[in-house]
């Protein structure tokens, strides 16, 4: 089965993509009759070297995203994963030559079709008297033995665009630029790894991977790599990549060792999430620094993709200060990142946390819950929530991302960790305030914020008194805060439904002579009934409000969790004879 792609047609997708880029960027123009994008200020380049690059489409933002002052003059694009036509390459060379440039440098990735087509166009241009040279970039570090075709051109080519562009902007001549970038290209390497293949529009995936496999050393056209390995944590994957790239027995290795200074590119091959990309970047920088390597600059993002491939490549380029100045030189290319012109290594990445105000010691009010009883209640609540994790997740999958059980489990584990520290539990207000902070920090999601708001507000009435009317007032305060900021109301199919039902019953504590257990028992039953009733409600707040009510045939997981918490509290107090 062919993959789904948002295109107008398979045949026209490369043209449409380039047209879209030019339509959004007033600094670019299309060359009439060709799939070529050029700087719109060509006339300003008189007397300076022009830089042309290109290759198959499907690697966006490469290469057209790197057109601009200080980088490329223009790009010739082929069909998806196909070399551009010789006629279009020659037309681009003629266009920049007729604008009065002082020669043209072709920057070509090392693939047979690109070498042939760009080379043929160069020879024709030379026959017409045009000054043109070509550099072929091969930065692939995958192969441990020398291949006749040489190293493939990968994401390191983008760094060559940048270095050559900075030199051209300085007015350096064609021959010197070619010589200098050839030297730079020999001091860099790239290695990719992927969790999936990609598919050319109108075609099936180029290769298949098992659920527990990843592909090491693959190319940017969906071609398979040099090794299939088992899925592993990100740190292990990055360690394997760095080991492979820098192993001196690997003929295509990069000579990076302790004391080296490098530019690092963490390149998204197309379908990797930004979350994963950040994890890979953290691992790469940390592991390089542990090896004594100085990371002078780090570029993280999508620079040279392979359509929707879920993978990443790492590029390492050895640098000194003169080369760094070229990397740091200004450019208007839209795909080049804005990064600080300072070293990544050697910088303090942690700012000290702000100091917290000293805790105010509060005397335990008469009738307050004893420390031992509080401990037992919290332990029972934690055990209950941990036991409900999978059930709550299952309920949440109908209306959310299926993590309600996970978030309540995180809360329970955080509370258990706090209880192991042996905290003083004499003051109910302090206990609720501490629980609020714990849940806000550890629970996560909207649930953590809502519980935090509820507990913070509920703690206030308990600072002065801890009798039954004060506990009823605490419930009122918590409900008010939750409604104020959460924007939910009773009947909206949220955790508030259970809390509200319990709160109505707890109003009885404000009456003279009220007892703890009879009122709390009614509150628990009301909370459980309200939780069950949510399965018949139309969601009016939260993520579930975006889901058709026809699919919401289970109780709200937040309401179920709240009812379970009340039940756990009641059971402990019944055992203690409160």
Query: What whole-number distance in Å separates Cα of residue 202 and Cα of residue 205?
Result: 10
Strand ranges across the sheet with 74-80: 28-30, 36-39, 74-80, 50-57, 104-109, 132-137
Name the residue among 530, 517, 507 with its Cα closest to residue 571: 517
Contact 419, 360 (CB under 8 A): no
Query: What whole-number distance in Å separates Cα of residue 186 and Cα of residue 33?
Result: 36
Q: Which residues contact 403 (CB under 8 A, 6 or more apart)?
A: 393, 396, 445
Q: Which stretch of DSSP H or E encloses residue 430? A: helix 428-442
Contact 532, 515 (CB under 8 A): no
34 is in an annotated binding site: no
253 is in an annotated binding site: no
Contact 81, 221 (CB under 8 A): yes
Q: Which residues are catalytic?
A: 221
Tokens representing 261?
Answer: 């200074």
Q: For the beta carbon of residue 266, count every other beta carbon within 10 angstroms.
A: 25
56 is in an annotated binding site: yes
Tokens representing 232?
Answer: 């592993």
Check the CA dihedral 328-331-333-338 and report its sign.
Answer: positive
Contact 514, 486 (CB under 8 A): no
DSSP symbols for 387-417: HTHHHHHHHHTTTS-S-HHHHHHHHHHHHHH
Q: Which residues contact 212 (CB under 8 A, 6 or more apart)?
A: 230, 231
Q: How far is CA 532 from the centre of its chain?
A: 38
141 is in an annotated binding site: no
Query: What whole-number distance in Å separates Cα of residue 513 and Cα of residue 46?
Result: 95
* C-alpha to C-alpha distances, 387 to 181, 325, 382, 408, nearest whole angstrom: 62, 59, 9, 10
Q: What 3-state class would DSSP assign to 578?
A: coil
Query: What whole-number distance in Å separates Cα of residue 109 and Cα of residue 219?
Result: 12
Query: What whole-number distance in Å separates Cα of residue 55 and Cα of residue 118?
Result: 9
219 is in an annotated binding site: no
Helix count and strand count (H, E) for the chain = 17, 12
58 is in an annotated binding site: yes
Q: Per the annotation, where are the binding residues?
A: 56-59, 109, 114
Q: Per the annotation, where are the binding residues for substrate?
A: 56-59, 109, 114
């Amino acid at each position: 089965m062919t993959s789904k792609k948002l295109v107008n047609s398979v045949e026209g997708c490369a043209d449409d993509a380039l047209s879209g880029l030019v339509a959004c960027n007033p600094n670019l123009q299309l060359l009439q009759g060709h799939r070529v994008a050029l700087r719109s200020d060509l006339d300003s380049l008189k007397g300076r070297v022009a830089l042309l690059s290109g290759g198959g489409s499907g690697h966006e933002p490469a290469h057209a995203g790197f057109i601009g002052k200080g980088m490329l003059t223009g790009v010739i694009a082929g069909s998806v994963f196909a070399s551009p036509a010789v006629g279009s390459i020659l037309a681009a060379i003629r266009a920049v030559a007729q604008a009065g440039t002082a020669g043209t440098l072709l920057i070509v990735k090392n693939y047979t079709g690109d070498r042939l087509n760009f080379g043929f166009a160069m020879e024709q241009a030379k026959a017409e008297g045009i000054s043109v040279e070509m550099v072929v970039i091969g930065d692939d570090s995958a192969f441990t033995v020398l291949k006749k075709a040489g190293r493939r051109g990968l994401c390191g080519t983008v760094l060559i665009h940048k270095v050559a562009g900075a030199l051209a902007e300085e007015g350096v001549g064609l021959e010197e630029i070619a010589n200098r970038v050839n030297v730079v290209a020999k001091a860099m390497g790239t290695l990719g790894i992927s969790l999936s293949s990609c598919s050319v529009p109108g075609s099936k995936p180029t290769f298949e991977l098992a659920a527990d496999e990843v592909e090491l050393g693959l190319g940017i056209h969906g071609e398979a790599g040099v090794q299939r390995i088992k899925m592993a944590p990100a740190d292990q994957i990055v360690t394997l990549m760095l080991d492979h790239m820098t192993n001196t027995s690997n003929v295509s290795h990069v000579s990076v060792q302790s004391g080296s200074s490098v530019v690092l590119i963490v390149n998204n091959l197309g379908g990797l999430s930004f979350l994963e990309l950040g994890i890979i970047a953290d691992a790469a920088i940390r592991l390089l620094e542990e090896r004594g390597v100085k990371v002078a600059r780090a570029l993280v993002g999508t620079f040279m993709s392979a359509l929707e491939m879920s993978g990443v490549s790492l590029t390492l380029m050895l640098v000194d200060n003169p080369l760094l100045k070229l990397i740091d030189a200004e450019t208007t290319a839209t795909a080049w990142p804005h990064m600080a012109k300072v070293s990544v290594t050697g910088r303090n990445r942690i700012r000290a946390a702000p100091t917290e105000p000293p805790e105010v010691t509060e005397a335990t009010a008469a009738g307050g819950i004893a420390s031992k009883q509080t401990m037992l209640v919290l332990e029972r609540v934690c055990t209950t929530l941990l036991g409900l994790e999978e059930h709550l997740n299952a309920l949440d999958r109908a209306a959310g991302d299926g993590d309600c059980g996970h978030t309540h489990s995180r809360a329970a584990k955080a509370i258990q960790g706090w209880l192991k520290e042996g905290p003083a539990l004499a003051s109910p207000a302090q206990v609720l305030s501490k629980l609020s902070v714990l849940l806000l920090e550890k629970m996560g999601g909207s649930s953590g914020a809502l519980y935090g708001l509820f507990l913070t507000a509920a703690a206030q009435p308990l600072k002065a008194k801890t009798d039954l009317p004060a506990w009823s007032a605490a419930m009122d305060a918590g409900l008010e805060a939750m409604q104020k900021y959460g924007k939910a109301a009773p009947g909206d199919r949220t955790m508030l439904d259970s809390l509200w039902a319990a709160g109505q019953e707890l109003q009885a504590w404000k009456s003279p002579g009220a007892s703890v257990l009879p009122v709390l028992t009614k509150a628990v039953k009301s909370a459980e009934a309200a939780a069950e009733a949510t399965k018949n409600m139309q969601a009016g707040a939260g993520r579930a409000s975006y889901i058709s009510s026809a699919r919401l045939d289970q109780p709200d997981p937040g309401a179920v969790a709240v009812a379970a918490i009340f039940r756990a509290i009641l059971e402990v107090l019944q055992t203690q004879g409160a």
